[in-house]
Amino acid sequence: MLPAMTHGGDIIAEVLARHGVTHLFALCGGHISPILTGAQSRGLRVVDENGAPLTLGALPEDGFITVYPEGQVGRADSQALLIRVPKGLLELPPARMAAVPDGVYVAYSKLCTHAGCPVGLYRARERSLLCPCHQSQFNVLNGAKPYFGPAARPLPQLPLGLDQEGLLVALGDFYEPVGPAFWDRSKS
């Protein structure tokens, strides 16, 4: 059954998804834009480093894994840490909690907001993420706010949902720019 449609791009995106189409190439712009918007609104699957999709059973409690939106495996600015926290512990604003499937699967950018090192260590006892470069620590339960070390900005959250097959999907881009602030200034 089709979800509530807003434009023709949604319908085409639904049909493409049913037929397993994952890539479209256009020789020019124009009418491809609504299709792209429709496809993005359906969500990109979240996959592990081998490109495998993930379900709600993917991780044990306090398990964590590096994930990417499908089609972006290996891209440094797309990598995120998916963490399954025990139910009832997350303290996020309602809108952000809605992007945490089953109330337990939260994902944050893996790029440290201090100088861009990969934040690779999850410490389950403190529910914190640790950056090995200069020891910044981020509180997983309150939106990955830094509480120790030189990082001044939280790790941006990746909004997640579930598709009709029960697979984790990214519902959009990270809520904030990833990586250190000077990366953004250099792009402008």
Cα pseudo-dihedral 72, 62, 178, 77, rounded to 10? -20
Kindly tell me which residue out of 42, 45, 84, 114 binds ligand FES, with binding defined by CB under 6 A: 114
| 177 contributes a contact to ligand FES by CB under 6 A | no
Size of the site for ligand FES (CB under 6 A): 11
| 150 contributes a contact to ligand FES by CB under 6 A | yes
Please give the helix or strand (H or E) that residue 96 lies within, else none.
helix 94-97
Which range touches ligand FES (CB under 6 A), out of 29-37, 43-51, 64-72, 131-139? 131-139
- 167 phi and psi, to 5 degrees? -100, 145
Report the amino acid identity of residue 169.
Answer: V
| 117 contributes a contact to ligand FES by CB under 6 A | yes
Please give the helix or strand (H or E) that residue 68 lies within, else none.
strand 64-69
Kindly tell me which residue out of 7, 75, 87, 134 binds ligand FES, with binding defined by CB under 6 A: 134
Q: State both tokens at 71.
A: 């089609």
List residues binding ligand FES (CB under 6 A). Answer: 112, 114-115, 117, 131, 133-134, 136, 149-151
